[in-house]
Amino acid sequence: MNLKLKRLVRTHSSEQYALFDLTQTDEEDQPLTIGKLDLHYTGEGTYGTLLLWDMASQQIETERRRMFVQALLSELVLPMGLPNEFVVEFFAPTLDEYEVFHNLDEGTDGPAEALERAD
């Protein structure tokens, strides 16, 4: 897996990233979306939710997933000078019922479009 993160949203205390695997492409020859990561920064540490789409999750063994999360958070959190403590919830949903609701124009390349490529 060759992971690429695309920041979708950033506030003063949170970020949202789309996760792509550059070694896999979709039918439009775009990097395959494998999930998303939401992070919330506090004075005590970082809290977040990691979603790996079911097909991506099945390819990563449990111990390897732990290392993946720790490496991902080290890359994102340590440079910000935040405490090392973190709590991240992990989910591996199927995309059978996946929907994105938005009111963006069709031509807009916003957060919804990056995540919609997961369909």
Question: Is there a contact between 118 and 11 (Cβ–Cβ < 8 Å)?
Answer: no
* Residue 110: predicted pLDDT: 56
Question: What are the beta bridge partners of residue 51?
Answer: 36, 91
pLDDT bracket for residue 44 (50, 70, 90): confident
* Predicted confidence (pLDDT) per residue in 1-40, tens digit: 788 899 999 999 999 999 998 988 888 998 988 899 999 9
* Predicted confidence (pLDDT) per residue in 74-118, tens digit: 888 776 666 678 888 888 888 777 787 878 776 655 555 555 554
Q: What percent of the chain has pLDDT over 90?
A: 24
Q: Is the pLDDT of residue 60 over 60?
A: yes
- Dist. CA 18–CA 87, nearest whole Å: 19
Question: Is there a contact between 8 and 18 (Cβ–Cβ < 8 Å)?
Answer: yes
